[in-house]
Amino acid sequence: MADGTPTPPREASTFAPDPVFASNAVATRDLADRAHADRSAFWAEQADACVTWGRRPTETLDWSDPPFARWFADGTLNVAYNCLDRHVEAGHGERVALLWEGEPGDARAVTYAELTADVKRAANLLSSLGVGPGDRVVVYLPQIPEAVVAMLAVARLGAVHSVVFGGFSAESLRARIDDAEATLVITADGGWRKGSVSPLKPAVDAALALGGRSTVENVLVIRRGENAVDWVEGRDLWWHEALEGVEAEHTAEMFEAEHPLFILYTSGTTGRPKGILHTSGGYLTQVAYTHRNVFDLRPETDVYWCTADVGWITGHSYVVYGPLANGATQVLYEGTPDSPGPGRWWDLVEKYGVTILYTAPTAIRGFMKAGREIPQARDLTSLRLLGSVGEPINPEAWLWYREVIGSGTTPIVDTWWQTETGAMMISPLPGVTTTKPGAAQTPVPGIVVDVVDDQGVPVADGESGLLVVTEPWPSMLRGIWGDRDRYVETYWGRFGDRYFAGDGARRDDDGDIWLLGRVDDVMNVSGHRLSTAEIESALVSNPLVAESAVVGAADETTGQAVVAFVVLRDKKRRSVTPEEAVARLRAHVADRIGAIARPRTIVLVDELPKTRSGKIMRRLLRDVAEGREVGDTTTLADSAVMGVITAEMR
Ligand code: PRX
């Protein structure tokens, strides 16, 4: 590795829980025993421990109509009340909820009392704009306290938020607005990223100006970037002006446990993102339960920091709902890790005395590259637990994380889960599990998983297979917005009543689970999910392109990188240089989907490798993109194609 960290053999590097840590840990060994003895009673117990119910549920799980689960169905709750008012009522109003830091260095500490008041006012405002239970509100914001306020205000009213990551383009935003039929968009003029203001409101304007009538009636604009913005009278409202004089009293109405809480779009195997639907009671139970037990949370003393953006599921579950339901104090940071310098994150850890840090392997690998002297120049001794999420963490990165960031002592929890699962599913428990670098290891108590072959038969330990979840879980997705059939087919079509995650996995001889990456056409770039089909359709929408095939190729920093093989249209080919074509196409993808989807490499080819039936053989392209010997080409219609492509790559 860049800084010379040795890679010890895997067997040698297991880490038993520190005895002092283990003897005080929140999660103890008996948690798994209790879950195992009676799963239903276990989840009922967690629902009681984690949630303040309006009406306590008497039913735990209704699985009479699989794959449509109902959890705690006769209970009622208000999710925002659980994240706010109840902490104030319990006397913790003065506790800091958010230690927010803007990228330019401006900072704000927001207490639970203040956050509660802000959310109540925002709820009153939204209500005056006509937002009511079940209505959809799109949130397109930077990482500022108002993003949390907006989400909770929507939830408080029983409306449904659909947060769209600020890096998505106008077109992606519009597709999500239309699919959800949102009536309100909450955005900001702009937010700070990499040392300058990145505009957001112009993207909303552009999205709403695209063809066809949109369902949006109002756009609420938070002032953050102070960049100039256009204004549509009657539609656009400044957040701060609209809030003037709005009441700070608001009584939270109780909603049924299965009331929708949010939609979050994620990439699937087709060109069209899926609106993953989550509901209230089960979701809140599992995010709060895992946040408390997996992170060994002490709300009175911990300073927790999850670096994810609220635009992703990790931001929903482990920035907003889990930590706030647990009354935690957390850092919220607006910017990028390297602004203004490569030590920014470690400055924040030192400044706020962060005790629990949750981030993605791609960030860790980036820090490894930059060198250990950067974090080592800061005091990181406050850290007592580290978490990883979003992609498999390679053992080298795991060991570096523990040694350099965690002073060689902190437990690391490698948490496997998905937008669809809503909350953590597989993770070590820090006071219980002897950890293995690179493995997520054990289902969290209450969760049951298996590794099966193509036919659904469990594979032997040591063999690779497909990960399935064999029992329903409280925070499971309840569907794909507006597409019942796609939900059934995508996740349940393959193995009946077992949930197919789309990931490969292997159990080792100790029964520990190692995640092996996606087995479908979904890529994972810097911990972000992207669909090969979506990028392909963006490419072919450019007049230069006749055909394209996209693959995720292994990348040292980003896990996977987008590599596109493109056949240009004959006529167009003559009008541009290859360099121009590549530059234009990279920009085109960023424009159509967002900068995260911009291909790292575009290879112009004369032909794509296809089977006789016309199917593109991505497996072969992946071999080329990763610099491997090309695999079996006997099923190709034209076996010479791969030789030409390989030559073109060089
Ligand atoms: O392939 C798995 C990978 O990320 C996918 C889910 O992506 P997304 O829905 O965007 O959610 C990311 C944050 C939860 C999974 O199908 N993944 C996530 N966590 C891990 C992981 N792969 C290996 N190890 C993990 N800890």
CATH number of the domain where residue 599 is located = 3.30.300.30
Whole-angstrom distance, CA of residue 363 vs CA of residue 142 = 19
Any atom of ligand 1 within 6 Å of the Cβ of 436: no
Cα(127)–Cα(214) distance, integer angstroms: 20
Q: What is the pLDDT of residue 32?
A: 97
Predicted pLDDT at 9: 42
Is the Cβ atom of 392 under 6 angstroms away from ligand 1?
A: yes
What local confidence, expressed as pLDDT, does residue 2 receive? 36
Structure confidence at residue 613 (pLDDT): 83
pLDDT given at position 571: 79
Report whether pLDDT(1) > 60. no
Residue 275 belongs to some domain of the structure:
no
7: pLDDT strictly greater than 90: no
Do strands 274-279 and 260-266 pair parallel, antiparallel, or not at all (unpaired)? antiparallel
Give the residue-averaged pLDDT of 511-518. 95
Question: Could you give the CA distance from residue 557 to residue 297 in angstroms, rounded to a whole number?
Answer: 30
Atom of ligand 1 nearest to the CA of 440: 26
CA 459 centroid distance within chain: 29
User: How far is ligand 1, taken at its centre, from the CA of residue 448, in Å?
Assistant: 17
| Cα 424 to ligand 1 centre (Å) | 10
Per the CB < 8 A criterion, the answer to whether 80 and 156 are in contact is yes
Q: Is the pLDDT of residue 150 over 80?
A: yes
Backbone angles phi, psi at 23, to 5 degrees: -75, -15
SS3 258: coil
Q: Which of 312, 476, 503, 530 to mutate to test the pocket of ligand 1 (most atoms within 8 A of CB)?
A: 503
Q: Is residue 617 part of a domain?
A: yes
Question: How far does the centroid of ligand 1 lie from the alpha carbon of residue 337, in Å?
Answer: 21
The domain total for the chain is 1
Summarised one tens digit per residue, pLDDT across range 187-213 is 999 999 999 999 999 999 999 999 899
- Give yes or no for residue 640 having a pLDDT over 90: no
Q: At residue 5, does pLDDT exceed 80?
A: no
Of the CA atoms within 13 Å of residue 495, those in its CB half-sphere come to: 22
Q: For residues 74 and 55, is the Cβ–Cβ distance under 8 A?
A: yes
How open is the CA angle 260-266-270, to the nearest 5 degrees?
Answer: 120
pLDDT for residue 8:
40
On whether the CB atoms of residues 124 and 153 are closer than 8 A, the answer is no
Strand 96-101, strand 329-333: pairing: parallel
* pLDDT at residue 12 in the model: 52
Q: Does residue 3 surpass a pLDDT of 70?
A: no
Nearest CA to ligand 1 atom 24: 392
pLDDT digits (tens, 9 = 90+) for 433-485: 999 999 999 999 999 999 999 999 999 999 999 999 999 999 999 999 999 99
Residue with tokens 């809140």: 284
Average pLDDT over every residue of 23-32? 96
CA-closest residue to ligand 1 atom 6: 418
Per-residue model confidence (pLDDT) at position 214: 95
Q: Report yes or no: 526 and 471 within 8 Å, Cβ to Cβ.
A: no
The fraction of the chain above a pLDDT of 90, given in percent, is 89
| Rounded distance between C-alpha atoms, residue 555 and residue 526, angstroms | 9
| Position 272 confidence tier, pLDDT thresholds 50, 70, 90 | confident
Q: Report whether 622 contacts 564 (CB < 8 A).
A: no
Return the DSSP state at 158.
T
Q: How far is the CA of 556 from the centre of ligand 1 (A)?
A: 17
Residue range 135-161: mean pLDDT, rounded: 98
Nearest-angstrom CA–CA distance, 532 and 535: 5
- Euclidean distance between CA atoms 559 and 527, whole angstroms: 8
Q: Which residue has the higher pLDDT, 613 or 374?
A: 374
Q: Which helix (H) or strand (E) holds 505?
A: strand 499-507
In a domain, 559, yes or no: yes
Domain housing 563: 526-649
- Please give the Cα distance from 408 to 420 (Å, whole number): 34
Query: Using an 8 Å Cβ cutoff, are 275 and 490 in contact?
Result: no
CB of 413 closer than 6 angstroms to any ligand 1 atom: no
Residue 372 lies in a domain: no
Query: Is residue 262 domain-resident?
Result: no
Ligand 1 pocket residue status of 503, Cβ below 6 Å: yes
Mean pLDDT throughout 521-536?
Answer: 91
Ligand 1, atom 4: closest residue by C-alpha: 390
Judged against a pLDDT cut of 70, whether residue 6 lies above it is answered with no
Give the rounded distance of the alpha carbon of 386 from its chain centre: 17
> Is it the case that residue 536 has pLDDT exceeding 60?
yes
Is residue 574 assigned to a domain?
yes
Nearest CA to ligand 1 atom 18: 390
pLDDT in tens, 62-105: 999 999 999 999 999 999 999 999 999 999 999 999 999 999 99
Is 548 near ligand 1, meaning CB less than 6 Å away?
no
Binned at pLDDT 50, 70 and 90, residue 641 comes out as: confident
Q: Please say whether the beta carbons of 104 and 144 come within 8 A.
A: no
Q: Is the CB of 416 under 6 A from ligand 1?
A: yes
Contact 600, 590 (CB under 8 A): no
Assess if residue 392 is contained within a domain.
no
Mutate which of 267, 359, 416 to test ligand 1's pocket (most atoms within 8 Å of Cβ)? Answer: 416
Pairing of strands 136-140, 184-188: parallel
Q: Is 438 in the pocket of ligand 1 (CB under 6 A)?
A: no
In this predicted structure, what is the pLDDT of residue 13?
Answer: 86
Q: How far is the CA of 531 from the centre of ligand 1 (A)?
A: 14
Helical residues (DSSP H) of 371-520, grouped into ranges? 373-376, 395-400, 484-487
Maximum pairwise Cα distance, the chain: 73
Residue nearest to atom 3 of ligand 1 (CA): 391
Tell me how far the alpha carbon of residue 308 lies from the centroid of ligand 1, in angstroms.
13
Is 71 a domain residue?
Answer: no
- Residue 197 Cα to ligand 1 midpoint, Å, equals 30
Chain-centroid distance of CA 646 in Å reads 35
Kindly report the protein residue whose alpha carbon is nearest to atom 5 of ligand 1.
418
The ligand 1 atom at the shortest distance from the C-alpha of residue 420 is 9
Structural contact between residues 467 and 270, judged by C-beta atoms closer than 8 angstroms? no
**Are residues 84 and 93 in contact, defined by beta-carbon separation less than 8 angstroms?**
no
